[in-house]
């Protein structure tokens, strides 16, 4: 996906693929209260709250490749908060390596369970 830049009175933003700085294996947001719950078939990550994030996964037997599309503020006011986004998988994470499609590198685990 190409980057899309938007300029307004509020500043300059860019939307496109962004680096995933860490994931939580086996967690998902659940219920109306938005609390995280253990789920072996989910991956969760945190991004800037104004980013309107979309997290997708491509799975193989040995890897899960994640793509995170989000909006980042380049110039102007930036909200100092975070938003959690999740993706449900076809199978439990297990021993599979989680890869960031943006960097091509393995994503570090923040916490998790199998």
Residue 45 domain-assigned (yes or no) = yes
- Per the structure, the complete domain to which residue 99 belongs is given by 19-68+79-112
Residue 95 domain-assigned (yes or no) = yes
User: Looking at residue 41, what is its pLDDT?
Assistant: 76
Total structural domains within the chain:
1
Contact call for residues 62 and 96 (beta carbons, < 8 A): yes
Residue 74 domain-assigned (yes or no) = no
Residue 92 domain-assigned (yes or no) = yes
Q: Over the stretch 17-37, which tens digit does the pLDDT of each residue have? A: 888 888 877 666 555 555 666
CB atoms within 10 A of CB 42: 23
Cα distance between the two ends of the chain? 32
User: Looking at residue 113, what is its pLDDT?
Assistant: 45
């Amino acid at each position: 996906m190409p980057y899309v830049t938007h300029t307004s009175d509020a500043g300059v933003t860019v939307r496109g693929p962004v680096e995933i700085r860490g994931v939580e294996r086996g967690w998902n947001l659940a219920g109306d209260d938005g609390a995280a719950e253990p789920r072996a078939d989910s991956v969760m990550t945190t991004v800037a709250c104004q980013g309107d994030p979309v997290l997708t996964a491509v799975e193989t037997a040995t890897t899960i490749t994640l793509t995170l599309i989000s909006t980042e503020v380049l110039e102007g006011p930036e909200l100092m908060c975070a938003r959690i986004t999740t993706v449900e998988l076809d199978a439990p994470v297990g021993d599979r390596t989680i890869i960031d499609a943006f960097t091509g590198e393995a994503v570090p685990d923040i916490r998790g369970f199998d």
